[in-house]
Chains A and B, each alone.
Chain A
Amino acid sequence: MRLVVVLAVLMGVSGIPDVTISPPTASADTSAHPNSIPETADESEQMEGAEEDVMATGELNPNHYPARRAAQVVQHYLNTRYGSPFRLIGVQTVHSGNAEDVTDSRRKYQLELSVNDIISNTTQTCSAELSFTKGKGQQPPEVKASCEELLKIDIKAQEEALYQKYKTSQTLMSAQYLPDSHGHIKPDMEPFWHLGILASSFIMLNESTENTLYNVAQVANITQLTTEEDHLEFDCHTLLHEMVSQEIIHWKMLFTWSPAEGVKVLQMKRLPHRHEREKSPKTN
């Protein structure tokens, strides 16, 4: 069996089926480097074959992608809860993790991770618990995490100043391509880039599964709308990058923000890809 596999590999045979490959004698992997991603010595993981959606169970290698994807979901969750034009949260490292099947259709993760506020550059360790459902009737993941240390940096003054400036302004702001093709953003537009990311975090959280990793590729357009209420209101078009499929997905959102309430998404809509629109011109 192994000889056949080796031959097949050397000939670059296309479409290798899901082959169960016995791992070679695992050489003593003495590297304790925190960033190392050892081909796990956990035999059961390898024996399950080469499919993308075979799920790692038990102790997770914090440097393999399953832990990374779960951590990204936590990031989106934290941004929906704690994010602000002046506080944007990113995953720094996953320290440890654990995954288990709870039922046939539900999987639970536990993570210990470090996150940081990108703007103030402060780091905090948090624990998080996530639950993914899979199969039909896919639902958004459920996340429990608390990272209250992130709230210690006082941004109230900046938030109030931003709010007042755009609440009382005679003209409604509008910005495109944050960042632009060259990665540039005008400094006074940065809070709106952050707002676009925060609003998108609600979508990214909803859309995440164990087989996705979302980032905001660009805020294509963010336009302030008039409103009588005690918040700012925006119409926003963002491009999300999904790492596993490498697709760029367009979403349009209507959301509000105030220092008191944070971001609230009122409407969101996925825009079909150009080629999808062309296929069925009669729709809409």
Chain B
Amino acid sequence: MLATMRELVACAVLFVAGLGKETFNGHQVLRLVPKTDGHLSLIRDLHNMIELELDIWREVRDVGSPVDIRVPGHKLKIVKRYLKTYDIQFSTMIKDLQVLLDEEQKAMESASARVPEPRNTDNFDFFRYHNLSEIYSFQDMLVAENPNLVSKIVIGQSYEDRPLNVLKFSTGGTNRPAIWIDTGIHSREWVTQASGLWFAKKIVTDFGRDPKLTAILNQMDIFLEIVTNPDGYFFTHTNSRMWRKTRKPNPGSRCVGVDPNRNWKAGFGGPGSSGDPCSQTYRGPRAESESEVNSIVKFVKSHNIKAFISIHSYSQLLMFPYGYIRSRIKDYTELNNLAQKAVTDLASLYGTSYKFGSIINAIYQASGGSIDWTYNQGIKYSYTFELRDTGQYGFLLPATQIIPTAQETWLALMTIMDHTLKNPY
């Protein structure tokens, strides 16, 4: 029962990751020792004062049993005064929680490096969420195992200098018409990166076995960017599970990051994006300011992309342009009909129900979004998915749902890719 300091701190690290708070600078953990029943109720009263933002690490039990509380820096004075007034003995267990967390984090990182990693992609556990380095390893293993089909292209660097990797699935040719799929542009949408991994494995497994996919790859290339926002993804593992944006600091603001799906040159700056750096939908100082976006723009302009599919979670929607204005795209009927077919095929596997339509009607107005830009570049089959679920778990989709989600989504992707192949333009 007696939690060691290490366990408590490990809890705090998880707490940080789950909570969305990024630092505990100046927070202290105090150990109180109630000597009387009166002390017990006084301590409970203290905890009930919600405005003090106390966090109990070891609960009130009985006289003599220590009570541990985490106190934010700016509340320390009040709390200590209260304790002294009522003669409640206390000591400082942790002087600055953030310092301890940083040390613990370093220890965890080196510990996980010692955990044996899968030697090949057949031993890769798709029923688990993986961290960034595991995903990078997977990519390299997949290429090594399938040198005639898969290669890795580094299309750029993230703000924090991480490689932006795209897997190219190709049977040859030069500048073939191609399909682009990206997952994880919003880092907290973990089921998307996890599905991207599964798609990659699915492609190499089905090539040469599944006639439809083989036909596609015989004439077209598939480009798959699994971790489109690696800085954000890393951050969701180490600090804040709910992080969405990039990790680029904003000059003159305490707030970090730009929403990479409001940073594209399509209705940039319009309603449906924010000019406030602290906002989750902050568009950035200018269109394509983020390297994560800019790299894809350059890639798309220098390749022959015929279908562009951007994958998000959650809401169970399949959408096509526009998000920034209400007017219908020229190809509305075709894209709408194709979307209808795709979600029907998706539902055929597990009965998962998706709605479909233009972004602005299906979910909300969003300006500066990727598929609006790609459509305006002439990439007709521009689609965006919002995967499972509809809000019960939301971003925290149980890992047990990764494979079913990926499997059903794959059916919809195949429908879109097959249509793209059979309807060249």
Contacts and interface: CB of A to CB of B under 8 A. Distances in A.
Interface string B268-297: 111110000011110000010000000000
Contact of A65 (B337, B364, B376): B364
Nearest to A56: B361
Contact of B390 (A90, A220, A279): A90
Interface residues of A, number: 78
Nearest to A282: B74
A14 B287 contact: yes
Interface in A69-88: 72, 88
B340 interface: yes
A217 B267 CA distance: 30
Interface in B375-392: 376, 390-392
Interface string A25-47: 00101010101111110000010
B244 interface: yes
Interface string B164-205: 000000000000000000000000001000000000000000
Contacts of B354: 35
A37 B219 CA distance: 33
Contacts of B365: 50-52
Identify which of A64, A171, A248 gathers the most chain B CB atoms within 10 Å of its CB. A248
B358 interface: yes
Nearest to B73: A281
Interface string B60-73: 11000000000000
Interface residues of B, number: 87
Contacts, number: 221
B394 A215 contact: yes
B407 interface: no
Contacts of A281: 74
A274 interface: yes
A177 B14 contact: yes
A167 B325 CA distance: 55
A108 to B, nearest CB: 22
A37 B353 CA distance: 13
Contacts of B74: 281, 284
Contact of A248 (B242, B271, B392): B242
Given A37-B355, A180-B14, A50 B362 contact: no
A155 B237 CA distance: 38
A220 B268 contact: no
A12 B373 contact: yes
A183 B21 CA distance: 19
B235 interface: no
Among A31, A218, A246, the most chain B Cβ lie within 10 Å of the Cβ of A246
Contacts of B395: 217, 241
A244 interface: yes
Contact of B324 (A16, A180, A241, A275): A16
Contact of A176 (B18, B47, B241): B18
B8 interface: no
B326 A46 contact: yes
Given A21-B325, A65-B364, A179-B393, A16 B357 contact: no
B50 interface: yes
Contact of A215 (B236, B280, B391): B391
A273 interface: yes
A182 B280 contact: no
Interface stretch (B112-120, B207-215, B396-404, B417-425): B396-404
Contacts of A181: 14, 17-18, 129, 190, 236-237, 241, 396
Interface stretch (A125-133, A221-229, A257-265): A221-229
A5 B363 CA distance: 24
Given A29-B333, A275-B254, A279-B254, A241 B394 contact: yes
B344 interface: yes
Nearest to A172: B59
B254 A182 contact: no
A39 B20 CA distance: 37
B65 to A, nearest CB: 11
Interface centre among B22, B50, B51, B340 (most CB of A within 10 A): B50
Given A182-B398, A217-B394, A254-B50, A33 B364 contact: no
Contacts of A15: 267-270
B206 interface: no
A75 to B, nearest CB: 9
A55 to B, nearest CB: 13
Nearest to B75: A284
A35 B356 contact: yes
Contact of B396 (A64, A179, A245, A279): A179
B326 A27 contact: no
10 contacts: A16-B324, A37-B362, A63-B362, A181-B129, A183-B396, A184-B399, A218-B18, A274-B21, A279-B254, A284-B74
- Which A-B residue pairs are the 6 nearest by beta carbons? A37-B357, A183-B398, A215-B391, A246-B280, A14-B268, A177-B18
Interface of A: 5, 9-10, 12, 14-16, 19, 21, 23-24, 27, 29, 31, 33, 35-40, 46, 49-52, 61, 63-65, 72, 88, 90-91, 93, 118, 171-172, 174, 176-177, 179-184, 215-218, 220-221, 223, 225-226, 235, 239, 241, 243-248, 250, 252, 254, 267, 269, 271, 273-275, 278-279, 281, 284
Interface of B: 11, 14-15, 17-23, 44, 47-48, 50-51, 53, 55-56, 59-61, 74-75, 128-129, 190, 236-237, 241-242, 244, 254-255, 259, 265-272, 278-281, 287, 315, 324-328, 330, 332-333, 336-337, 340, 343-344, 353-358, 360-365, 373, 376, 390-401
Given A39-B358, A177-B18, A241-B395, 4 more contacts: A21-B326, A23-B328, A65-B364, A267-B50
